[in-house]
Structure 1
Amino acid sequence: MGRVALEITAARPDPALLDLPWHLPLETWPEEHLAALPRGISRHVVRFVKLSHRVLAVKEIKTDIAFREYHMLRALGRLDLPCVEPFGIVSGREQEDGTVLDGCLLTRHLQFSLPYRALFSQTLRPDTAKRLIDALAVLLVRLHLEGFWWGDVSLSNTLFRRDAGAFAAYLVDAETGELHQTLTPGQREHDLDIARVNIAGELMDLEAGGLLHESADPIETSNRIVTRYTDLWEELTGLERFEKGDRWRVDERIRRLNELGFDVDELAISTDIGGTTIQIQPKVVDAGHHSRRLLRLTGLDVEENQARRLLNDLDAFRASQDRQGEDEEIVAHDWLARIYEPVTRTVPRDLTAKLEPAEVFHEVLEHRWYMSERAGHDVPIEDAIQDYVKTVLPGKPDEKSVLGVDTVEMPVIAMLGDEIGEG
């Protein structure tokens, strides 16, 4: 019978897979095997199944295409790109009467993620569509930087997770994708054009169903993918020369990315005889990432946005010292002793109730950046703290460190519904 020809391909096959009704078309599987999770729109039949205390997404698809997508997802995973994790392939499926069935691609369910239609079925702020587009722009840029041409960019082929007031996007469908050494401008523009058309159609469908906020225009919102992608691509790939005394320009580059609504988690610096060039490589980071990293490196326990600001300065310090190849913890120790602690210790005792130390340091960095911009060159941190303590800090109210204050203004998104976990 059909089970004799059944083949399961997986890096770590689970014997429980044999208990699933592979001899039945996926759309007819009994409820007892299924997990009640929201599904996105797909050209293929997709079901979530419960298996050994985990949840798998099963997509019924031509066997050769299933193998291709499985290997593509594994390649993207090795590149540390945001995508679903492939689990295995089931081929050789037949019904009891001998009718041949398509194969199935198995991927692990991405915890706490939702398809875009599930997001819009809830009561969300009007700018939700824009936030999703921004997350998709980050994903597309990351894929393109690694040479991946998607070929079917859309909201439907993406899962979204809440990420510290914004959204993080993950590739779900790699069926049409191609991995190259690098992409040409034409390939990138083709992906962008596909994205713009697909997103417009998806948003129009939401609008017709009464799920899109009346202030959101489908065409205008879909065009946002082009502008946000272009802005981010230019900021990330543009080469900029600076001298070692122009550290403020590194800060300015990071600031522009932050103002675009993007985080910077890694600075890639290369030097040559004529000077120094800077390139910034983005990484989508999870909520709490910055505070955990700062605590590990320095022992400072601060709020997330404060930690991001301090880490930006730490990374800029490492770049200005040309110490990219050194152990991160050693550089962090030097930064703490030479930059952070001298600044916070400079605050007079009678002014320590104004702001908590991490917030003072953030404000000194802001103050220094403005001073450097006006001067056209780096202003020493010692001069910045002295001027700040003299002209700015005395005018602050005695807040006694209001914890949780955001040091970077970011759009706020309403909380999603109950998070969905596995099992």
Structure 2
Amino acid sequence: MPSQPNAHSPQTPGIAAGRLPPEDIAENFADLAPPLSPHEAAVAADRCYFCHDAPCITACPTSIDIPLFIRQIASDQPVAAAKTILSQNILGGMCARVCPTETLCEEACVRETAEAKPVEIGRLQRYATDTIMARGEHPFTRAAPTGKRIAVAGAGPAGLACAHRLAMLGHDVVIYEARQKGGGLNEFGIAAYKTPGGFAQAELEWLLGIGGIRIEYGTALENELTLELLQADHDAVFLGFGLGGVNALGLGDGPVRPATEFIAELRQTKDLSTLPVGRRVVVIGGGMTAIDAGVQSKLLGAEEVTIVYRRERAKMSASRLEQEHATDAGVRIICGASPKRVIGNGSGAAVEFAYTEETETGLRETGETFRLEADQIFTAIGQTLSEAPQGIALEGGKIRVDENGRTSLPGIWAGGDCALGGDDLTVTAVAEGRNAALDIHKSLA
């Protein structure tokens, strides 16, 4: 849904820039989890049992050999550890920052089961990958040229992982990216305090060090660039363009804006003290996008921020750790309430909600309602394909693929958020892009 006219401008009543001094905003958006020092990394690594049948590996969507890389850190070999990580997940640096490790590898950790305190796998992964990137080293080289040329639509996590693996295997890759900047979700859709210092772009440039990959920016898969044209000029095509559309709230006029749009603007704003934010902010949704929009609104100086989710708290897709981070930041979370209508505009706006309850036949309204005043309303109720490529079979609003990422059209693969399956995580997109690349390589042999 497009944003309302002037819904986020400084002139809109109740929405203003500079609610906090620049130095306070800079502190608020500093690194959420500072990196480990070598000594801290050694101590953290020493807690690992180095399980032979490690459940943490199974819990990782990219199947990183976690005990091996932690053992390498413990023996003071962070570069070797990084190579172990990156051989499975070329975006391991970003994933170390944004993966919900608390529900993946760390939840499966034997230390978590025994002591409720897992090995800090995510922070150890960051220590290793930061070390190799700081040295400017690229751990892989290209195989002998194959003479094959593959098109990748989208320079997000899935597209980049696919392109990198194909380049390693000796193929030439052209990435067609609609925006003027690569990175996809990593650049435009993740909270700024998780990836400060321009890390997404630094990792992108580092990844391209493999060679054999060219990115054509400002080129969308639309009328001027059809699947037919891509197939005619390339030996295979991978679609990894994410989800460009957003689900509409459809509850009347008001200062309503997609949370994804707000987060993208925030990520591209150099001076956050100039970014307007409401005094009273309401976020509708229960996933990571809702949490990121709510927390960042608070960090920008919003006085009241409320996230409202229609089901019970245990069913929020945002992890418990992220929910706690939001409440620690001063964000209120209300569950069991569904939006009914938006009333008014600007500083006079409010959202009316109906309380809900879970029943055997599904969610139902109780008949009780309440209102939240808001001069800024963000919707985080899911994304959709902005435009499905012609001729490709869809399922559940996404591109239907098999276990190797093959679509219904020969010679075309897909992965990441635009494809069916997975859980819309960076790490899952990386796994799908990498696996599709291996299948593409196999098909071209």
- TM value normalised by structure 2: 0.24
Greater relative contact order, per chain length (Cα 8 Å cut-off, separation 6+): 2
The structure whose Rg is larger is: 1
Higher helix share: 1
